[in-house]
A and B are shown apart, each in its own frame.
Chain A
Amino acid sequence: MTLYGFKLPALSSLLIWALLWEVVGRLELTFFIPPFSEVLATLIGLIPTPAFLNALWVTSYAFLAGVFFAIVIGIPTGILMGKNRIVDELLLPWVNIFLSAPLTALVPVLMVLFGFGTKTVIITTTLFAIWIIILNARAGVRQINRSLVEMARSFGASPMDAFVKVYFWAALPEILGGVRIGVIRAVKGVIIGQLLISIVGFGALFELYSSKFLMAEFWAVLIVLFGLAFALSEFLAYLERKVSYYAASR
């Protein structure tokens, strides 16, 4: 975007919102919103503290593990559903139900099944992310050009070869789209997990700060979380653009 002939850098609209935040904070309308500058100062002070670093580590661990399982289980399952009628008929209703279900309501059940530890947080994260990954991989495989499938068959591809060398790559643009949305959902999953199950990581920090009305700290952690989620999502969007050259010509 350009303004009076100046080219504005991306995301510069955020500056306006930051300014608005600062003004509202300074007006002291509510204790809920401290000035943006105060939040930033708190953030800088907060980052080197052991509590923050520990929360970052615990959360990243659960998040990455959850996303890992969602991808490693989700992509092959989706490809399999796209290629096999019977598997598709069996699993599709469940995938659709879980995709739209309020998964938060399931968390207490998971706690009973898997205990109150990190394991349950990881499973919650996986459950938040996996369904859209499955659905997108399935959609990606279903739109593969039929003659590409016939090509693989006519040159004698084993099922494994066809899977690894043709189907996966042909579906990759959709798969990456699914992973990107899945990762965003996983951020929700890990925080909800940490809030509801074991009070650890960023979830514990949110709990602590909001119960003690430490709003600057609360917002600071939230900004960190938004920033991380945004960076991740942008990185995956970048990967998607890397394969978009062939997405249109399959």
Chain B
Amino acid sequence: MQPIKPDTRQAVTDSAVSVRNVSKVYGDVQALKDLSLEFPRGELTSLLGPSGCGKTTLLKIIAGLLPATSGEIEVNGVKVTGPGPDRSFVFQDFALLPWASVIRNVAFGLELRGVAKSEREAIAEKYIREVGLAGFEKKFPHQLSGGMRQRVGLARALSVNAQVLLLDEPFSAVDEQTRRKFQEDLLELVKNEKKTFIFVTHSIEEAVYVSDQIAILLPRPSRVSEIIRPSSFRDKSVDNIRRDPEYLDIVDRIWASLRSYVE
């Protein structure tokens, strides 16, 4: 296997999210230790690592859902003290309101912000179309498949127009084929939406497939072990990525470094 050249394009324009020396302690468990990481604006960064490496913890700290024990997070230069309108979250288990229709679910973020009903439903309809759920506005979550439910979750996160989207293993609860479609759609979304995506996953292939930048997190205590920036296949069409030599090399190399951490 040919080693991958260290990436020389480190001089990224600017960061949408900066994580500086963040530590998180639960009781006597050190979940994150002195972790620093930059998330370039307009790109998708994956947090990848074995289970228990604290990637979801880091994501929730960035979201403001968990307080960091020490260190700080900045989003667009503003220090994070809690959840804010500059970030929106896509949940692993979708977190939809089961008693509300698709359109109310998608508009729920806006509803909480006090946007008038007609206005928020117009915005919601736009994003329902964008994620490919047109015609399902009046359905309820239990009438949808897992993949469609996550599309609702995605539309909800998009409709509040946050600059940073935080996705916590969003495709892990959907079947393989739906997941592939999602990954392709996600690439489109990153290209079109001009937003910063932070994507937690435990799938190496998925991370390499969708990411502009992959941060590998290793456990006990959690730290960033390396940052990989695929260079050659990002602009290729979705059908060609999985056969690109660089794609395959990166997948192999990540597996080689994670292998020893898998029980």
Contact = CB atoms under 8 A, between A and B. Distances in A.
B81 to A, nearest CB: 13
Interface string B134-163: 000000111000000000000010001000
Interface of A: 145, 147-148, 150-158, 161, 165-166, 169-170, 172, 243, 245-246, 249-250
Contacts of B60: 150
Given A154-B64, A170-B97, 20 more contacts: A147-B92, A147-B93, A148-B97, A150-B60, A150-B95, A151-B95, A154-B65, A154-B83, A154-B88, A155-B83, A155-B88, A155-B108, A155-B112, A156-B109, A161-B112, A243-B99, A245-B140, A246-B98, A246-B99, A250-B98
Interface of B: 60, 63-65, 83-85, 87-89, 91-93, 95, 97-99, 108-109, 111-113, 140-142, 156, 160
Given A161-B112, A245-B142, A154 B98 contact: no
Given A243-B99, A246-B142, A153 B83 contact: yes
B8 to A, nearest CB: 36
Q: What is the predominant secondary structure among interface residues of chain B facing chain A?
A: loop
A161 B93 CA distance: 22
B95 A156 contact: no
A155 B109 contact: yes
Contacts of B93: 145, 147
B92 A169 contact: no
Q: Shortest 8 CB-CB distances between A and B: which pairs?
A: A246-B98, A151-B95, A147-B95, A155-B109, A154-B89, A154-B83, A147-B91, A157-B112
A155 B159 CA distance: 11
Nearest to A149: B95
Contacts of A145: 93, 95
B17 to A, nearest CB: 15
